[in-house]
Amino acid sequence: MQANKENNIRRFNTFTGVFIPTLLSIFGVILFLRTGWVIGNTGFIEGVILITLAMSISLATGLSLSSISTNKEIGVGGVYYIISRSLGLDVGGTIGIPLFISQSISVAFYLIGFAESLKGIFPTLPIIPIASAVLILFTIIAYVGTDFVVKLQIGIFAALILGILSFAFNPHFSLISENLSPHYLPGQNFWTVFAVFFPAVTGVTAGIAMSGELKNPKKAIPIGIISALTVSYITYIAITFKLSATVPYSILQKDTLVMVHYSLIPYLVYIGIWMATLSSALTFIVGAPRTLQALAYDGIVPSAFAATLGSKKKEPRAGVLITFLIAQGILFLGSLNTVAIIITMFFLITYAVTNLAATLYSILKPPTFRPSFKTPWYIPFYGVVGSYIVMLLINATATTVATLLLLILYGFLRKRHFKQAWGDIKTGTLVSIAKFCLLKVSEKKQDPKEWRPNVLVFSGAPGERPYLTDFAKFLSFNDGIITLVNILDKRDKNCNNITEIKNKETEKLISYIKENKLDFFPKIIVEGIKEGTFSKISQYYGFGTIEANTALFGWGKNRENQLKLVNDINNLMKLKKDVLILNPNQDKGWGKREKIDIWWGGKGGNFALMTFIAHTLVDSPEWKRSGIRIMKIVNSEEEEKIFGTAYKKLLKAARLEAEIVIVPNSPQREFKELIRKYSSSSDLIILGLGIPKENEQSQIVDKINHLSEKMPTTLFVRSMTPKDIWDIG
């Protein structure tokens, strides 16, 4: 999107656009100024292990980048572009911002190395002023454009190779066996030395920083990165062997210019150091602004950060200036080792997330993932685990703090609800996890004690029956699965275009769910509303054995609809579905939410679900002050004693907290009169619903209307729930 939008000119090939920038970044300040120090601490054997480990993480990341980049068109932003198009803008922004900062810091890192090398010839030269002066010069170069930078890098590369060869062909060669084993300086260990060395292999990100300007990124990125990493690994191992076989460890630990002092032509090595450090600084001062530009194009940071400020080739000049400010601030730290550790942590996080994206792609294999360069899943997975473990070993506290800061940044970006015109692997990941879980649940026979309500709420259009939505929200508190169902009558003339209508109404329902912060699923169904409609929908909704087990209805005023519902209850019961009918008190609503009354006759099979609903409500924040009363009608003193004792035992066995209220019915009074006398001040009344017999549907409708008329909000329950969900006995 952004590459087309900005009409970036694709003008670099594999050698000039990827191989050279990658190799120059790897053959940088660490190669000439810190490899000797590393070997002086680790010795040859552990040094080779350290270099191999660092290179292996970088190689895994390079292979991951190659795999993803050969699957889709790569635009401006390099690593950020790949992550954001794979894991979404929220994750991309979470990594892209620290990636840009780390690239900007790298500019300062290499310039400090350059200034430090000058002290070998001019010992009195101050590091910060020299580095700052070169930073200003490079900022001007980057501001002018990358064409000049790329041409300059080819000459730099040639000078750098000469410097390496000058050291490698030094005839002085007497194997020092004491350099085989480690001799760590006080305060140093394998991982602290690793942290200083690791910036040497971060060139894999520099190699695709100009991805939006490559002629053929799908070919250039894999070939350029892999070949550069291979050449650099061989070179580092050769130099490690040469240093171990030439210089005592005591000198290696102290002399940062050891490659100069033990070379065939020292000034060639000086030139190599200068070229390496300056070219690396140039690589990052060109690459960092492009990462920032990509972030701005996607709306992660202000659009002003993408300003080209009059550049005809759309150079990110605003980003160049911001990169300058960050690098200049870091220059004041002055310590090469300190800056190296900061860069290492930033890049390891970036590597971990990049490899995570490739791992998910390789495992999930979405239909759109068909890379021409394929990488087995375990290679990027190694990159994920390796990056994070190394971070923890370097500095567990810093890793924890960095992770927390990234989570906060992710939370902030997540709330912004970015709109993106592409899919990402997160959805596929969630679908795969959901599929796995559903299959596992389907394989296992459900234990009644693990029963949870999976409720279809026939709520109608968004906001049409808010009391049903409220009640469903209360029910969902204990992991209930709730689906809001809106049935559109297909006989309606507005339902001619079913697909268009469904999509439009689904969007409305989703918006309603989000606005009210409900953990519900939306479902729009186009169907003729007639007898059997509700049972048909309840039967077909679900995945495998994971079906809706409960249907929740509102009790409207239309008698025809009331009869349709009651007629369908028998069908729902045959399907083993619980039926809940809620008749709200329009004036009182939920009242004070302090008293719930359950009227249970002691039979009919509704006890388990009635008490489950009541206790689920009490567990929710809205009803936490509420008490539950179980109302039992008795016709004699003997029944009062029998049922009083029996109900207490039942509640104790079920481990339920409720008050038992014995309601004497002598002389005999109508049920409605008893409810009115004892529960008129309650906030919710729960009543059992008898099984509708054939040709008695009209009487059931009359009974529901009669019992709930001028009463608090009333819930009628017809349960098919397993009776032992309370594990009684």
From the list 264, 269, 73, the residue with the least C-alpha distance to 169 is 264
Assign residue 503 the CATH number of its domain. 3.40.50.12370
Would strands 714-718 and 578-583 be described as parallel, antiparallel, or unpaired? Answer: antiparallel
The CA-atom distances, in angstroms, between 469 and each of 92, 459, 522, 556, 594 are 36, 7, 12, 15, 20
Same domain, 408 and 536: no
Backbone torsions φ then ψ of 174, nearest 5 degrees: -135, 110
Q: What average pLDDT does range 513-530 have in this prediction? A: 82
Q: pLDDT confidence of 377, banded at 50, 70, 90?
A: very high
In a domain, 435, yes or no: no
Same domain, 18 and 121: yes
In a domain, 440, yes or no: no
For residue 368, how many C-alpha atoms fall within 13 Å in the half-sphere facing its CB?
11
For residue 726, pLDDT over 80 is answered with no
The more confident residue out of 376 and 655 is: 376
Q: pLDDT confidence of 203, banded at 50, 70, 90?
A: confident
Same domain, 485 and 381: no
The CA-atom distances, in angstroms, between 496 and each of 163, 488, 491, 528, 591 are 77, 11, 9, 13, 43
In a domain, 335, yes or no: yes
Structural domain of 352: 2-425
From the list 277, 308, 237, the residue with the least C-alpha distance to 50 is 237
From the list 458, 682, 674, 681, the residue with the least C-alpha distance to 564 is 458
Backbone torsions φ then ψ of 299, nearest 5 degrees: 80, 10
Q: pLDDT confidence of 210, banded at 50, 70, 90?
A: low
Q: At what angle are helices 425-443 and 79-87 packed, to 10 degrees? A: 40
The CA-atom distances, in angstroms, between 184 and each of 36, 44, 193, 679, 701 are 13, 12, 9, 81, 87
From the list 19, 97, 1, 4, the residue with the least C-alpha distance to 314 is 4
Strand segments (E) across 331-374: none
* DSSP reduced 3-state for 27: coil
| 591-632 pLDDT, tens digit each | 899 999 999 877 767 888 888 888 888 888 888 889 999 988
Backbone torsions φ then ψ of 196, nearest 5 degrees: -70, -35
Same domain, 339 and 208: yes
* DSSP reduced 3-state for 634: strand
Number of domains into which the chain is organized: 2
The CA-atom distances, in angstroms, between 228 and each of 17, 54, 384, 399, 529 are 12, 15, 22, 29, 67
The more confident residue out of 694 and 294 is: 294
* Residue type (1 letter), 349: I
Residue percentage of the chain with pLDDT more than 90 = 20
pLDDT value, residue 410: 86
Same domain, 78 and 111: yes
| 306-327 pLDDT, tens digit each | 888 887 777 888 999 999 999 9
Structure tokens at 7: 């009409």
pLDDT value, residue 57: 93
| 115-167 pLDDT, tens digit each | 888 887 888 888 889 999 999 998 988 887 666 666 677 787 888 888 888 88
pLDDT value, residue 239: 93
Average pLDDT, the chain: 83
Residue 162, exposed/middle/buried by CB under 10 A (0-12, 13-18, 19+)? middle
pLDDT value, residue 7: 43
For residue 729, pLDDT over 50 is answered with no
In a domain, 394, yes or no: yes
In a domain, 546, yes or no: yes
pLDDT value, residue 129: 92
Assign residue 421 the CATH number of its domain. 1.20.1740.10
Report the distance separating Cα 278 and Cα 276, nearest Å.
6
In a domain, 439, yes or no: no
For residue 168, pLDDT over 90 is answered with no
In a domain, 216, yes or no: yes
For residue 16, pLDDT over 90 is answered with no
For residue 635, pLDDT over 50 is answered with yes
Q: What average pLDDT does range 389-410 have in this prediction? A: 85
Same domain, 257 and 353: yes
In a domain, 599, yes or no: yes
Same domain, 635 and 493: yes
Backbone torsions φ then ψ of 579, nearest 5 degrees: -120, 125
Residue ending a domain, choose from 395, 425, 455: 425
| 327-368 pLDDT, tens digit each | 998 888 767 677 777 778 888 888 888 888 889 888 877 766
Same domain, 113 and 174: yes
465, 487 Cβ separation under 8 angstroms: no
Same domain, 417 and 496: no
Same domain, 342 and 483: no
For residue 430, pLDDT over 50 is answered with yes
Same domain, 404 and 449: no
For residue 469, how many C-alpha atoms fall within 13 Å in the half-sphere facing its CB?
23
| 281-293 pLDDT, tens digit each | 887 888 889 889 9
- On the question of a cis peptide bond just before residue 667, with omega within 30 degrees of 0, the verdict is yes
For residue 3, pLDDT over 50 is answered with no
64, 358 Cβ separation under 8 angstroms: yes
Report the distance separating Cα 371 and Cα 288, nearest Å.
27
Residue ending a domain, choose from 425, 460, 476: 425
Same domain, 396 and 459: no
| 100-114 pLDDT, tens digit each | 988 898 898 889 888
Residue percentage of the chain with pLDDT more than 70 = 88
Q: pLDDT confidence of 2, banded at 50, 70, 90?
A: very low
Q: pLDDT confidence of 6, banded at 50, 70, 90?
A: very low
